[in-house]
Amino acid sequence: MKRFAVALLLATALPAAMPALAQQPASGPQAVAQGKALYDQHCTACHGSNGTAGERAPAIVSAAISMRGARSDAQLMAIVKNGIAGTAMPAWGNRLSDGDIADIGAFIHSLRGTALDSPLPGDPAHGEAVFWGKGGCGACHAISGRGSVVGPDLTNIAAERKSTAISDALTKAEHRVYGDGGVHLPAPPPMDNETVHVMTKSGQAIDGVMRNQDAWSLQFMGLDGKLYSFARADLRSVVIKAGGVMPTDYDKRLSADEFRDLMAFLTRQGTKIAASPSGGAE
């Protein structure tokens, strides 16, 4: 408490003489809106809309790549302020005020956030019952080892996706989840869990959900829960259907209360990883 008071005093009395402390993003919807305006003006040309990578620079909102996603808010803002030597990233501290940079930080924070940051309201316990019961979700998905391996595992879904992305997956026939690189995709894009039907040369018919493929082979999870890998040369036919087996009318299959509570449950599935004290992954 004493330290805090001293720091506050110093900050009030000597703002110009203060050494560069780790800056934190501003907060509140107004800061996010201001930050978006500044971001759109100064950042999109290189980093793309909403930080998903643009024409000249990498994604800054990726969750998985340590070079990018593992940086804390303070680290990201230090980069905005000071630039990165040896790259095209300039020191914005020379052109923007600390307040502007804090607003940009607020916007980036909002982009990087996932469902777990602000889980949706409702009754998660009832949502869990819907998940395993009327919703039938466990026929394809698993949470903490319970359920099926055919579809994506949802144990950590709220730490990986925004609430809107989860809602889109449940209600929209066409929705797109970009990979870590956004437009520029430095890694393979996520598969869309297309359904696949193959007929082997020996006459065996197998249905499943795609995991990967190339021009010579394909890998899929059979609806029987077994992982299959075939050389295409060994198959008589392969039929892959876009769209997958996932129904996208849960807002109609379920009552309004059931859907709200399912979302309340799903947006709490995950483990929030705190930034390490040193803050980085390097």
Partner 1 sequence: MGLKRLFLPGLVLLTLPVLAQPSINNPGPSAPGEWAVYPGSYNSQRHSPLKQVTPANAHLLQVRWVYHVSGSRELEMTPVVKDGVMYIAQYNRVDAIDARSGNVIWRYQRPPASTAAYRGTSVYDNKVFVATTDAHLVALDARSGGVVWDVAVDGGRRLSGMSPYIAKDKLIVGVLDQPDGYIQAYDPKTGKHLWTWHAIPRPEDPEYKSWSGNTKEGGGAIWMSGSFDPEQNAIIWGTGQPNPPYSNEVREGDNLYSDSIVAIDVDTGKLKWHFQTTPHDQHDWDATSGSQVLVDTNYQGQKRKLLMHADRNGFFYLLDRTNGKFLRGNSFIDDMNWATGLSPEGRPILAGDGAKPSIKGTLTCPSTAGATNWPSATYSPVTGWLYFHAVEGCGVNFRSSVTPGAGTSYIESPEESHRWVSHIRAMDPMTGKRMWDVTEIRSNHYGPGLLSTASGLLFAPGQYGQAAMLDARTGKALWHFNTGDFITASPITYMLDGRQYFAIASGTNIFTFGLPDTATAKGGQP
- Residue 152 · residue 138 · CB < 8 Å: no
Among 242, 271, 274, 277, binds partner 1 (CB under 8 A): 242
| 119 counts as binding partner 1 under rule CB under 8 A | no
Q: How far is CA 153 from CA 59, 71, 86, 147, 270, in A?
A: 25, 26, 40, 9, 11
Region binding partner 1 by CB under 8 A among candidate stretches 19-27, 82-90, 112-120, 273-281: 82-90
At 235, which helix (H) or strand (E)?
A: strand 235-241
Beta bridge partners of 231: 217
| 183 counts as binding partner 1 under rule CB under 8 A | yes
| 64 counts as binding partner 1 under rule CB under 8 A | no
Q: How far is CA 56 from the centre of its chain?
A: 22
| 44 counts as binding partner 1 under rule CB under 8 A | yes
For residues 87 and 237, which CB has a smaller minimum distance to partner 1 in the complex?
87
For residues 151 and 182, which CB has a smaller minimum distance to partner 1 in the complex?
182
Region binding partner 1 by CB under 8 A among candidate stretches 8-16, 41-49, 134-142, 221-229: 41-49
At 47, which helix (H) or strand (E)?
A: helix 44-47
Among 3, 17, 216, 274, binds partner 1 (CB under 8 A): 216
Q: In a 10 Å sphere around its CB, with 0-12 CB exposed, 13-18 middle and 19+ buried, how is residue 279 labelled?
A: middle
Distance, CA of 9 to CA of 238 (rounded, Å): 71
| 49 counts as binding partner 1 under rule CB under 8 A | yes
Residues that bind partner 1 (CB under 8 A): 37, 40-42, 44-45, 48-49, 52, 54-55, 67, 85-88, 174-176, 182-189, 212-216, 242
